Copies of this chain bind each other. A is one copy, B any other.
């Protein structure tokens, strides 16, 4: 093959700088060791860098390479996705200059629990996204978002109903925290905040006695989507009070009496003292 033309390094017709250029919906093998267990995950990945106004294109293969060289390698066997993310972006900087970069990894995360009465052990699955931002002259920032499938129980309907009947429905909660690397909580502690913030927890198995316990818990603790959203923020403020974090909570309720959903979103900060 003759000498290759580096089209990417040419001057573009429209000299406008771009903020995010890279790969997305990229799946590859991530090997991670948590508590002595080796997990083989297939995270969904986005990795982007900024592109200066005078450069026509990013070298996309260098972006893919930086990701796979770090995360495919069993010898690296990371025990934190956060640490691994920083390594990917540092490796990328060696291969491809940038002043700003962003990496996102989305994957399933398991936690073990037991049902409330029959005490059956279950594995529950949540969805986690870890995003990392590097920018020249700024501190590295990482955000972690954890999703939880819970429920809402309408307190307004309950209050107004003579027989204490109400409507109940599945609700999807998300807690995001953003801060410097040494300020981040564990996925487990974020899951813990979410599990405690809904009218009741959800389980992959419930025997009749467990189901009754969950239902009673729901009705004793009725919550609007707004209440759940505030509860997530309040519990995160308490749980992470020693860390310096921006907190955002979103809750969406798949109403059982409507065809549409209701939503609540709010943000706050811990002061980390």
Binding site for B on A (CB under 8 A): 1, 4-8, 12-29, 37-42, 46, 48, 51, 56-58, 60-61, 64-65, 68, 72, 108, 110, 120, 122-125, 149, 151, 154-157, 159-161, 163-170, 200, 202-209, 211-212, 214-216, 218-219, 224-227, 229-231, 233-234, 252, 254-268
Contacts and interface: CB of A to CB of B under 8 A. Distances in A.
21 contacts: A4-B160, A6-B156, A15-B230, A20-B264, A20-B265, A21-B265, A23-B262, A27-B260, A28-B123, A56-B227, A61-B205, A68-B204, A68-B205, A160-B212, A161-B212, A165-B215, A169-B254, A169-B256, A202-B258, A206-B258, A211-B257
Given A21-B225, A40-B41, A167-B218, 19 more contacts: A1-B212, A16-B230, A18-B229, A18-B264, A20-B263, A20-B264, A20-B265, A20-B266, A28-B122, A29-B125, A42-B110, A51-B226, A57-B227, A64-B204, A64-B205, A68-B205, A161-B215, A167-B215, A204-B258
A89 to B, nearest CB: 17
Main SS class of interface, A: mixed
A174 to B, nearest CB: 13
Contacts of A214: 167, 257
A21 B264 CA distance: 4
Contacts of A208: 4, 61, 156, 160
B122 A262 contact: no
A230 B18 contact: yes
Contact of A157 (B13, B156, B212, B234): B212
Contacts of A155: 7, 56
A163 to B, nearest CB: 7
